[in-house]
Amino acid sequence: MLLAHVSDPHVTSPERRAYRIVDTARGLARTIDTLLARRPRPDAVILTGDLACDGRPEEYAQIARELERLPMPVFAIPGNHDERGAFRAHLVPRFCPTEDPTFLQFAVELDDLVLIGLDTLVEGSEGGALCARRLAWLEAALAKARDRSVVLALHHPPFATGIPFMDAIALAAPDRLETLVRAHGRVERVLCGHVHRSIQTLWAGTLASIAPATAHQVGLVLDPTAPSSFTFEPPGFQLHLRLPDGRWVTHLVPVGDWPGPYRFAEYAAG
Ligand SMILES: [Fe+2]
């Protein structure tokens, strides 16, 4: 199993730029091109939120056109920049097989593993949360996936990253989620977005991993007195590879143009 983890494309309509200077539509298009060029191709793709920049219907129409270029199963959950109505109109059920009339969350089987996507969006807020209803749905989904390997995807990370202005808008009150993940015992990855950087930590007894954004990155600002910022560090995505022995390894794939590859055999001598 090769699972591509793409996040935070923040797609705008063609005449606009995110934050006045970021061509986010191009960022997603280049990411799709990179996914299509990989050999082997990923078996599935999960997008962990902030698909649109401003939640406009035309942004989701553009996103759907891009995602339709991918031949493998593609799944998406919302982030704080998304708008549930327009998301649902353009991406459900093909890219988000939710059965909930309100929330955009799902559990799907990929080979012998269960991919669960959670909706942590709180309308009008940059931070995320899981209400009692969403947690109850997750508890039932995890119970149904008992004894199965699970990959859990949610936009807002349930852990601190050390970037103060992002930690202030992370997932609120993650204790109940942590209890559910620990109780299941076979949640093998927790995949997040929101922070626009590649970040990993051990959380709830498993590896939690944030994918970089496909467009602008959040500055690595660890100084609590420094202002929030974004950068044009290389965009990318993560590839989670499940080896034959069942172990997952996580690779970072930058998206861009640079020299190489150079064959070691040709350059080893002299
Ligand atoms: Fe984002």
Write out pLDDT tens, residues 176-203. Answer: 999 999 999 999 999 999 999 999 999 9
Q: How far is the CA of 104 from the centre of ligand 1 (A)?
A: 17
pLDDT in tens, 113-160: 999 999 999 999 999 999 999 999 999 999 999 999 999 999 999 999
pLDDT exceeds 80 at position 269:
no
Count of domains for the chain = 1
Could you list the residue range(s) of the whole structural domain that residue 15 is in?
2-267
Q: How many CA atoms lie within 13 A of 193 on its CB side?
A: 38
Q: How far is the CA of 167 from the centre of ligand 1 (A)?
A: 13
* CATH number, residue 263: 3.60.21.10
First to last CA, the chain: 40
Q: How far is the CA of 13 from the centre of ligand 1 (A)?
A: 16
Q: How far is the CA of 9 from the centre of ligand 1 (A)?
A: 7
Q: What is the pTM of this model?
A: 0.97
pLDDT in tens, 234-248: 999 999 999 999 999
Q: Does residue 148 sit in helix, strand or coil?
A: coil
Report the pLDDT value the prediction gives residue 191, as an integer from 0 to 100. 99
Number of H helices, E strands in the chain: 7, 13
Residue 66 pLDDT grade (very low, low, confident, very high; cuts 50, 70, 90)? very high
Question: In Å, how far are 27, 49, 178 from 6, measured between CA atoms?
Answer: 11, 9, 23
Report the pLDDT value the prediction gives residue 210, as an integer from 0 to 100. 98
Report the pLDDT value the prediction gives residue 270, as an integer from 0 to 100. 66
